[in-house]
Chains A and B, each alone.
Chain A
Amino acid sequence: MKKRVELAWKLIAILLAIVLVIPGKVCAYNSDEHDKFLREVLFGNTAVRNTDVLDALNDASAIAIDQHNGDGQPTLDELRNVYKIKGLPSSVSKFNVGHGYLHRNYTHKGWNYDYKKNDGDDEAHWGDIRKDILLKTVNQSFDFGFLSGKPLLGYSDQCEGLAALIYYVHVLGDHVANETYSSNYEEIPLIKGNGQLGLIEDLEYYSGLLFTDHSTRTYKSYISELDRIKDDIRGIYYAPADLEDPEIYEQYHGYAEEIMQCLKDYIPLLIKKEKFFQKVFYPELVGK
């Protein structure tokens, strides 16, 4: 009897080890939900006509932002071999990060967060590899002009704007998923507060790069709505410690949902008017 119990525990240990060791599609969080958020933000209720490009963006987002503990190789291979994205690392081992569910602390702190400078080390290679995976995928999926992505020239504003938007939709999705507060998570906060970076501030900045016409009613209304949410959050949040109060956190979490709804309401209307996006998803709208 004792031996059987001992054997059972050993089997459980082995089984669990197998599950952890075998790499699968990146899923620190439910990637289907992230994909759904991105689809809704980019397209609203409209059917997606070029699913390959959307799938490539989803893959790049998952790899760049959520890869950890050695997983994600099939996804990386799919990006390279199926969606023909060039210049990608050959293996996830080049940028792998461990730390299980705390992987977010190495990739979710902001599009321009300098992990080396601020945290002493860029363990997940956010700055030199992961960001570039997303930028390359965006750049090669759309036409941003001949010079975008060329060595020393960097990526065009719209390419960077879209890549940053995709990044923040993912991070915002994690904020929405965090129904209770945990001090372990160090995602970029919804607003700057007393910190360096804030999600809404960055969204506003990169939206300014992504959308060319800032004079339209829709764009002004979008920024105005983000400003409104930002001001509301300022009323309850200054620093992470504020979120330890469950009531405060409940409101904070509600604002994360509002930002997501704001993106779902406005982004499909705005992005549909951009030429680079029309060429891929709405060719009948491309004028002379």
Chain B
Amino acid sequence: MRNRVINKILACVLAATIVFETGYVCYATEDDTTTVDTTATSSQVDNSIAMLNYLTVVTQEINASSNSRLFLEEAYSSLINNTSPNAIDKRTKTQLNDMLDTIDAYRMVDVKRERLQYIYEQNQAQALREAVPNPLGLLASVQSFNLRSLVTSIVYMAIDSKASYDTAMAQADMQYLQDGWELDDAETNALTESREQLFNYMIDIVHTYNIPDKDALSEEAVNEFVKCKNNTNVARRIQFLESNKKKYENFGEYWLLCAKSYYEDGDYQSCLDAIEKYDSMEINIFRKDHNYADVLPLAIASSEEVYGAKPICEEKIRYYVEQLTNNLETEDWSLRYFAAQTYLELYTKSKNKADIQTAYKLTEDNVNYLIDEQNTKNSVYLNPVVKKDVPKNLSSAKQKEIKQYNKMLEETRKKELPPVYEPLYLNCDLLFALADELSLDKSAKSRMEKILHGGDIPLFLTTPLDNTYYFTNTADEQSYEFSFDKGELILPASILSDRSKIVVSITDGKNMTTIDDWKIDKVKRGTEKDISTFKATYKSEKAKKYKYIEGTTIDITVVPVEGSSCEEVEAQFVAHEKKFVVIPTIEFERTK
């Protein structure tokens, strides 16, 4: 009896032990991918998919670009400034942050990035000026000037193309700046890895939220899309886009690419249709939709082509230019300039002065923003070179970049002339032309002059250019000190810029020779911060070899900023023969 009881107790105790040991606290479910509810709303889920599609395409574009680091800069800037953080759910935000961290690690050092951006903007401003040399050309309704002329410089100037940085003025810079435009293998692999991570994550949320497969792009679809985008053959590009409409129609970038491609092909109606389709999608992942803003100039130009003189043309253009200004950040000066020009175009249709006033306001905003960059450049120019520190925690490649940059600073300083920030003076020209058109009153003019000239140093260190931007110029005519000696010309730096042109005409009796091969040899800086003491020396082989005789007249014309409306500076010298003991010499006397 006792044995029976003991055996029963023993069996029960052992059974209980086993149950507690293995079964009671074991995790029953197999599903360990159960995600915690993030309380993502339906629109957040839609936006998350849109963001993921966008990110996967952008990272593939970076990898596909031959100057991938330049493209990466643009992508980073767009993502960091533009994405709407609350539009997407928390977990997608984590993925976005990781992508930003990855891209951030591969950016250029800041000084190189800023210098390249400056050169790009200089080129862009010049291209805009060449497209519409007269800032009010559209008002004059001259046939050769229309909004289409401006579109190329704004929409089609690729950020990652070397051509966008080619400039005669920045040749010295480019030696130091053009290295490292391509990501190395490890960096490319890291972006690829991050992109694959995004695809895996996208599959996860497609399943979690039961999203239709076609809303999320596959890796293959992304690769094909980017390949299509990079195809320079527009007919083939359109062929691909039309054949794959079903695959991409829920992806906003598809419609923007269609718009650009149709525009290039001259099919303006289809361009408008594509933009309307994008409009109807209500993409909400960006604070300001930069990609949409970039394409709106095409919509505006296409509207002109499609609707011509019909009343609907004005209506369409007005709608698109409002969309454009609603999606601009302060630094989007080139698109804002285009918007200002568009309002001039609207004025030709509406004859409503309010349109010119809007153009003026937009230009004023541009000027107000661009002044800071000019002031910074002026300050750097007037002060001694300040080399950038080389932090020890940077990679060796980035340390090398900074050292190269510091070397570039020293080299360029030897011949450096006062800087002229092209976007600013482009907008100043438009501003003053509009001020005239509007017949601004005294107080408005005074206010504008304070904006332009209210700083401690002149707006432009190039005095003739600076003098151009006063409504009432009360400055006395200045005389500038010139020195000429055969092949050498010494001028004050304050009448020069990196876009100066010097033409010398030499007259001997009836013969006149033009000497235009003047090259900057050096800039001697007298007292730092005082530009009036800076002297620039130009040299010319042709002028050096010329046979001067008694009475030879040398007429010097200095164009302070080529292409601008600022006054030229002139001087004249006459050659006199002298004898030093028995050796004949030529001396030059300034006569004007």
Contacts and interface: CB of A to CB of B under 8 A. Distances in A.
Interface of A: 2, 5-6, 9-10, 12-13, 16-17, 19-20, 27-30, 33, 36-37, 40, 44-46, 100-101, 173-174, 176-178, 216-218, 221, 257-258, 261, 265-266, 268-269, 272-273, 282, 284-288
Q: Which of A13, A20, A36, A266 has the most CB of B within 10 A?
A: A13
Contacts of B10: 13
A30 B14 contact: no
Given A13-B7, A218-B94, A282-B193, A46 B200 contact: yes
B206 interface: no
B156 interface: no
B18 A27 contact: no
Given A6-B7, A16-B14, A217-B97, 20 more contacts: A9-B11, A10-B7, A13-B7, A13-B10, A20-B21, A28-B21, A30-B26, A33-B27, A45-B204, A100-B21, A101-B21, A174-B25, A218-B97, A218-B101, A221-B94, A265-B91, A269-B94, A282-B193, A284-B193, A285-B190
B7 A9 contact: yes
A258 B36 CA distance: 6
Contact of A13 (B11, B104, B197, B204): B11
Interface residues of B, number: 46
B187 interface: yes
Contacts of B24: 101
B356 to A, nearest CB: 45
Contacts of B35: 261
B245 interface: no
B33 interface: yes
B478 to A, nearest CB: 52
Interface in B89-126: 91, 93-95, 97-98, 100-102, 104
Contacts of B185: 284
B213 to A, nearest CB: 17
A120 to B, nearest CB: 25
Contacts of A218: 94, 97-98, 101
Given A6-B3, A218-B97, A177 B25 contact: yes
B97 A221 contact: yes
A271 to B, nearest CB: 12
Contact of B101 (A9, A100, A217): A217
Nearest to B199: A45
Interface of B: 3-4, 7-8, 10-11, 14-15, 17-18, 20-22, 24-27, 32-33, 35-36, 91, 93-95, 97-98, 100-102, 104, 184-187, 189-190, 193, 196-197, 200-201, 203-204, 395, 397
A269 B98 contact: yes
A4 to B, nearest CB: 12
B15 to A, nearest CB: 6
B17 A176 contact: no
30 contacts: A6-B3, A9-B4, A12-B14, A13-B11, A16-B11, A16-B14, A29-B25, A29-B26, A33-B32, A36-B32, A45-B200, A45-B203, A45-B204, A100-B20, A100-B21, A173-B27, A176-B27, A216-B97, A216-B101, A216-B104, A217-B97, A217-B100, A258-B36, A269-B197, A284-B186, A284-B193, A285-B190, A287-B187, A288-B184, A288-B397
B203 A287 contact: no
Contact of B27 (A16, A29, A269): A29
Contacts of B95: 269
B4 A6 contact: yes
Contacts of B102: 273
A163 B26 CA distance: 24
B197 A44 contact: yes
Nearest to B193: A285
Contact of B18 (A20, A29, A177, A284): A20
Nearest to B396: A288
A257 B4 contact: no
A287 B184 contact: yes
A20 B17 contact: yes
B94 to A, nearest CB: 5
Nearest to B187: A287
A285 B98 CA distance: 15
Contacts of B397: 288
Contact of A40 (B22, B33, B187): B33
A285 B186 contact: yes
Contact of B200 (A5, A44, A284, A285): A44
B24 to A, nearest CB: 7
Contacts of A265: 91, 94
B202 to A, nearest CB: 10
A266 B94 CA distance: 7
Nearest to B197: A46
Nearest to A11: B11
B201 to A, nearest CB: 7
A45 B208 CA distance: 14
B490 to A, nearest CB: 49
B209 to A, nearest CB: 16
A251 B189 CA distance: 42
A16 B18 contact: yes
Given A13-B14, A16-B11, A261-B35, A46 B98 contact: no
A100 B13 CA distance: 13
Contacts of A44: 197, 200-201
Q: Which of B24, B95, B200, B397 has the most CB of A within 10 A?
A: B200
Q: Which 8 A-B pairs have the closest CB atoms?
A: A287-B186, A45-B200, A16-B14, A217-B97, A261-B36, A9-B7, A269-B98, A216-B101
A123 to B, nearest CB: 18
Contact of B186 (A5, A46, A286): A286
A285 B204 CA distance: 24
Q: Which of A258, A269, A286 has the most CB of B within 10 A?
A: A269
Q: Which of B95, B97, B196 has the most CB of A within 10 A?
A: B97
A19 B22 CA distance: 11
A64 to B, nearest CB: 19
A6 B21 CA distance: 26
Contact of B17 (A100, A173, A269, A273): A100
Given A6-B3, A45-B200, A16 B101 contact: no
Contacts of B97: 216-218, 221
Nearest to B203: A45
Contacts of B190: 285
A10 B7 CA distance: 6
B18 A19 contact: yes
A20 B19 CA distance: 11
Contacts of B193: 272, 282, 284-285
Contacts of B25: 29, 101, 174, 177-178
A288 B397 CA distance: 10
